[in-house]
Amino acid sequence: MADHKILPVFAFVDDGEQLQQLREYLNNVGKAKLDPKGPPDVSDNLIDICSQITVMGACPHPVEAGHAVHVLSNLFRGFAAHPKIQEVLYRALVAMCSEARMIGELDCSTENLQKQFKQWGTAVDGQRDILRLVHIGLLEDQKADQAAKVMIMLLGTYTEKDAALAREDAIECSDPLMYSALELFISGTLKDYRAFVKAHPEFVGEKLKVEEAVLLKKIRLLTLMSIAENNNVIHLDTLAEELDLSPDDHLEEFIIDAIQVNAISGKLNEMTRTLVVSSFQHRQFGREQWQTLQKRLQTLVNNLKQSHANIHSINQHVDSLA
């Protein structure tokens, strides 16, 4: 079945006999629980074996884990013409790499994963299972940035019909503290962030692996955006208190930075000591924001139609005078 030009072959015997010997070996040495003969169809037989390959994952030494990953990689490449088998092998390979902390040996980019899913014809539930495995492996190997991209891809598989499951999946795929941190930067404020850090002082340095100064600046920007959503005229003293900044040069410098990065648009009124907000970026773009955008676009279209009608009327009047 495998492509012998790609896959190194060491035994030229009947497929059925090889599979039976492999089952016997895995049951005796690998502690698998395989039927001695397995399904009569060769493809189904091999898929059944591949589904239990991860029982060999508890390698006592890194070198042995490396050998196991190398063998699985050869198998994976050798069955390129058999998508169902290759998909099962990929699951085993990801699980093995995750346990051995060798996920870097695989191309786990979201682009490659999408390509593989298309080639294999993987159903949505299957995609989610694989993405969960990859996400866990990346976290185990301290690859937080890649893990975040895979998490986004995983959550992107949900639709309005099953969106409620996304929250549970996010908690399951990432530890509860990580999920709380994500929620914090979605809708929390600086005060919420400070309370979170106080309750979990080691989380930022050990898990997020981002400088606290960077996170503070980000959460202050997000807090300002939230305030701007509710008030277009903000007193500077109130803003200084919410952002925990001195109400002098530090606050003004922060506001200038916020305008430069397009978080908000507005002007400072020194006389009234207020910030007048003319526009702002939404922290979340949900159904309400889409409906507002639709209304604004419809108003724009109506205004353009009215302008076109006015111009047409003027042209007709000019033509009648000629």
In the sheet that holds 233-235, the strands lie side by side as 233-235, 274-280, 264-269
pLDDT of residue 192: 92
DSSP H or E stretch at residue 25: helix 15-28
Tell me the per-residue pLDDT of 264-309, one tens digit each, with 9 for 90 and over.
Answer: 999 998 899 999 999 888 877 777 778 888 898 999 999 999 999 9
At residue 31 the predicted structure's pLDDT band, cuts being 50, 70 and 90, is low
Query: Could you tell me how far CA 40 lies from the centroid of its own chain?
Result: 40
3 state SS for 161-197: CCCHHHHHHHHHHCCHHHHHHHHHHHHCCHHHHHHHH
Residues 6 or more apart whose CB falls under 8 angstroms from that of 157 comprise 124, 127, 128, 131
- Cα-atom radius of gyration of the chain, to the nearest Å? 29
- Residue whose token pair is 């809708």: 187
Is residue 137 over pLDDT 70? yes
Mean pLDDT of the chain: 81
Neighbours of 224 (CB within 10 A): 24
Contact 218, 208 (CB under 8 A): no
pLDDT of residue 265: 92
pTM above 0.75, yes or no: no
Q: What tokens appear for 20 in the block? A: 């039976």
Q: Which of 28 and 138 is assigned the larger pLDDT?
A: 138
Tell me whether residue 96 is exposed, middle or buried, using C-beta atoms within 10 angstroms of its C-beta: 0 to 12, 13 to 18, 19 or more: buried
Tell me the per-residue pLDDT of 62-109, one tens digit each, with 9 for 90 and over.
Answer: 556 677 777 778 878 877 888 888 888 888 888 888 777 788 878 888
Cβ-count burial 145-180 (b if 16+ within 10 Å, e if not): ebbbbbbebbbebbeeeeeeeeeebbeebbeeebeb
Residues 6 or more apart whose CB falls under 8 angstroms from that of 87 comprise 116, 120, 122, 126, 130
At residue 256 the predicted structure's pLDDT band, cuts being 50, 70 and 90, is very high
Residue 69 vs residues 90, 120, 142, 149, 251: alpha-carbon distances, Å: 11, 21, 19, 24, 54
Residues 6 or more apart whose CB falls under 8 angstroms from that of 88 comprise 47, 50, 51
What whole-number distance in Å separates Cα of residue 157 and Cα of residue 174? 16
